[in-house]
């Protein structure tokens, strides 16, 4: 669970490469493109330009190289022939493997001009992610992260998805510990320098309940309300945190 200096450096490289995929794909997220085409572009970029492995491909049977979750889809959407339309919001979730280590990150994209509601939800969810990340330091607990995210989301009349959470990451795609996005302060394991994990809150505009579609991957809100998610891979440092998948436009 605790990474040494050499492992942390490999995590930095993998995280930085994952962030590059989200930067690259932005220009392609426009009305008229299919999520299958976005997957193809990302796959080629990851394998040919970055010389990485797309971790989702064939992971527990997942058939594509990225996840694309649109509007009321919460997470794990499978890219297909669906065409993006104006006012859609879409989460693109990317995980790459470089030199045996994983970098995992996701970002919300607007397709054309978003509705006021969609823009507010996307911005609130990013703020929830930022609040969770800024909680990270040695001695804090997983419950502190979850509580800070939950209190913020609910104060803004949104709900936090319970069934899916962040996770430890390194040589394995999903390691211990699980990082819940809700909870009580002081509960759960204590954070220690050298831990690496994802924080990836899924925030719904409506109720928190979700359901799994028959494809056994795509998760949607039960009430069909909009859902948003952002994700970063985090390192616990001596005095706080480092965002391993940070993009240049971010100030976290």
Residues 46 and 13 sit within 8 Å (Cβ to Cβ)? no
Residue 45: pLDDT band (50, 70, 90) is very high
pLDDT for 162 equals 97
pLDDT digits (tens, 9 = 90+) for 172-220: 999 999 999 999 999 999 999 999 999 999 999 999 999 999 999 999 9
- Give me the numbers of helices (H) and strands (E) for the chain, helices first please: 4, 15
Q: Is the pLDDT of residue 41 over 90?
A: yes
Host H or E run for residue 126: helix 116-134
Q: Is residue 35 part of a domain?
A: yes
Q: Is residue 248 part of a domain?
A: no
pLDDT digits (tens, 9 = 90+) for 99-148: 999 999 999 999 999 999 999 999 999 999 999 999 999 999 999 999 99
Is 71 part of a structural domain of the chain?
yes
In this structure, is residue 252 part of a structural domain?
no
Give the pLDDT of residue 128: 98
Q: Cα(252)–Cα(250) distance, rounded to whole angstroms?
A: 6
What is the structure's pLDDT at 1?
A: 82
Is position 104 within any domain?
Answer: yes
* Model pTM above 0.85: yes
Q: CA triplet 214, 205, 34: central angle to 5 degrees?
A: 50
Asked whether residue 251 is assigned to any structural domain, the reply reads no
Give the C-alpha distances (Å, rounded to integers) separating 56 from 17, 81, 163: 15, 19, 19
Range of the domain at 234: 5-243
Predicted local confidence at residue 118, as pLDDT: 98
DSSP line for 141-209: BHHHHHHHHHHHHHHTT-EE-SS--EEE-SSSSSEEEEE-SS--TT-SPBP-TTBEEEE--EEESS-S-
Please measure the distance between the N-terminal and C-terminal CA atoms of the chain and give it in whole angstroms.
24
Please, what's the largest Cα pairwise distance for the chain? 48
* Residue 213 falls inside a structural domain: yes
pLDDT in tens, 63-95: 999 999 999 999 999 999 999 999 999 999 999
Phi first, then psi: give them for residue 168, nearest 5 degrees. Answer: -60, 155
Give how many domains the chain has, as a whole number.
1
According to the model, what pLDDT value does residue 164 have?
A: 96
Q: DSSP code of 112?
A: S
Using the predicted structure, report yes or no on whether residue 42 has a pLDDT greater than 90. yes
pLDDT of residue 40: 98
Residue 87, SS3 per DSSP: coil
SS3 241: strand
- Domain harbouring 229, CATH code: 3.90.230.10
Which position has the higher pLDDT, 78 or 1?
78
CA count, 13 A, side-chain hemisphere, 109: 26
Q: What is the DSSP string of 22-35?
A: HHHHGGG-STT-BH
- Tell me the C-alpha distance between 88 and 109, whole Å: 9
Q: Is residue 208 part of a domain?
A: yes
């Amino acid at each position: 669970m605790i990474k040494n200096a050499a492992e942390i450096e490999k995590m930095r490289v993998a995280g930085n490469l994952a962030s590059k995929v989200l930067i690259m794909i932005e220009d392609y997220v426009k009305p008229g493109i299919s999520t299958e085409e976005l997957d193809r572009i990302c796959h080629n970029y990851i394998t040919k330009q970055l010389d990485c492995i797309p971790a989702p491909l064939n992971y527990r049977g997942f058939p594509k190289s990225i996840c694309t979750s649109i509007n009321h889809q919460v997470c794990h959407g499978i890219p297909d022939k669906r065409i993006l339309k104006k006012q859609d919001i879409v989460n693109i979730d990317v995980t790459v493997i470089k030199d045996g280590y994983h970098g995992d990150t996701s970002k919300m994209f607007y397709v054309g001009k978003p509705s006021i509601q969609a823009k507010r939800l996307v911005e609130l969810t990013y703020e929830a992610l930022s609040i969770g990340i800024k909680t990270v330091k040695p001695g804090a607990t997983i419950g502190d992260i979850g509580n800070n995210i939950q209190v913020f989301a609910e104060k803004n009349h949104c709900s936090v998805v319970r069934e899916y959470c962040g996770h430890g990451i390194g040589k394995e795609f999903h390691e211990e510990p699980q990082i819940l996005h809700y909870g009580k302060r002081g509960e759960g394991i204590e954070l220690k320098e050298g831990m690496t994990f994802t924080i990836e809150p899924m925030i719904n505009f409506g109720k928190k309940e979700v359901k799994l579609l028959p494809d056994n991957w795509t998760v949607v809100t039960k009430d069909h309300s909009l859902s948003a998610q952002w994700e970063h891979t985090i390192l616990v440092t001596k005095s706080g945190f480092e965002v391993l998948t940070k993009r240049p436009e971010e100030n976290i």
